[in-house]
Structure 1
């Protein structure tokens, strides 16, 4: 390894002198091996002494003077003296003196710096996070030297936190507190506490991810199948429930009686909610409202489904009425929606004769008005379909 520029300058300055000693500063991670080097110039065999920061002599002319086996003299030549320290501790920090005793005494200090890299940051949550309230997260680095940099991120966007630190002996305890307002949509989101430090390799950071646990009241939704129901069909209601914590009980209720309907309704529960099956629908089921309710520690919610059961066959209904005279009222009728078959029925082809070709009937005229001897319009009410008029005949044959 090429000597640093400062070292070359010192060597250049020392030219022409009898003897010179130059020491190198060292930075090491706690627990690693530190190597302290004293470069000798013009060495003539004079006494060389190395002392620790407490001014205790470690080696005297190559001979161990202090009984600390962590220090090892790995090289002592006319050009340099190399001393290894393993493992390095925080208390080993300071200046190590390289002394050369000749006609005059030469000495220089090598400064040893011990870094303490941070461990993975510890993220904790203060209290229960509830939708609509403020959440507090703490990111802790219990031990680092020098102090580390702590930052919060969510989706690569930095969040403002409140940093603090406390020195404990030779190391620092650091904390960064994040406070943010959370909503239901924040449940499951990931925030990251990131730590930077000079003891880490270039470009490397320590990160701890934390998944938000936001609690919120339940929401309930009912889906029906099929969407249009007729007499004899089976109704299937699915109640989908979400909430945090998940609701412990999902219940059904009916506006016109109890659930389950005795001998008919079938219920099934699962982690997603509940299902209700009601077979063989009839006129007595029409107009009932079915409700699904769920609750947790933060509230209750319910959804409602009004049941409409349509008749199997079309039934015309009165839509308009017009008084024509004191004794005659004109009623206009039309088929209801959601029928299995349209009303009135389309005309059928009618054969002309025993062997003649079938001639389609002409389409019937619009539904004729019905006449009633009442003098005024009564309330609209279902009526039976009128009897179709006589079919149009074809040309006469002899």
Structure 2
């Protein structure tokens, strides 16, 4: 055992469990790749100001949870706590919005970092797959992204999740609601930090999960009563498009999410089998974020789905993913000549797309067959001096135990036929 362990609140992904996480990432990405979204990758750290401006100085992410550092040159950097601001920054820097094909549709996958109290389903290092549609204000884009996330989850076999939907209004109607909400909140018995939040971003108080706060929020002004006609019409179109696509959602007038940049459509995917940490992903529209970080007006919408949370949701529903075998064929050589010949066979199988492995380390037959069993291979290829003299290898079906002599020249074809 190493002297060192993974830092508190983080985890290592190791086989065979890691295969499940890869499968979840691929399942979430599949409908995006099929819908015009191109892959983007950004650095694991960014300028601190990118997040303080974009995510919001009043958010817990910025005030409490960011990992920050000062470089030797004096620059202030932060490990990325979320993906949207980084992706938008990268798209602006690469001038993707000037290529004449809006919206710019991007997807990404990676690790993110927040200094939180570690608990099941909430880690200091976590994995997400995200999608952003940059540069177009269209209810169909909002609906498309929600539908694609719903499609990904259903492809994984998940059924017990819910989609919560709300509208946060825009720069025209939200200030009116903000004033009304501030007036209501200032009359409540709240701690000093929450009172400070009332003045910076009162909508964030609605997202406070503490029972003593939620109890006092009964009777708070409801944002839908303050939406302007344009925002109402926009939200109704999103709802209509989702319903037409057969996607079931729930209206949640208190849904605000934890980031300041959201406008109009906001949504969250929750799974009731996860206890208090029920959110598995979410997102929304962020029409003003580009301008907040120094770019032009680029109305946009996006989401991020938690890989860790999705795996927990699968486990809560008892879903076992059908994962491809990491090894289909395992070669066991008996002797130096067989070692040379079977290594060539394994190399050929791999070139032809067959997952193959080899008994390394010059172990005896018993030890090599134990490795073959542990690998999960469907077939083993065994050969010794006598087999090679006859120009054959022994092909063994690990499920039935049946063993067949196969001409050395026909091994690849025989394996492909049996695997098919």
User: TM-score band (shorter)?
Assistant: under 0.3
- TM-score scaled by structure 1? 0.21
Higher strand share: 1
- For the pair shown, the structure with the greater C-alpha radius of gyration is 1
Structure number with the higher helix fraction is 2
Higher relative contact order (Cα pairs below 8 Å, separated by 6+ residues): 2
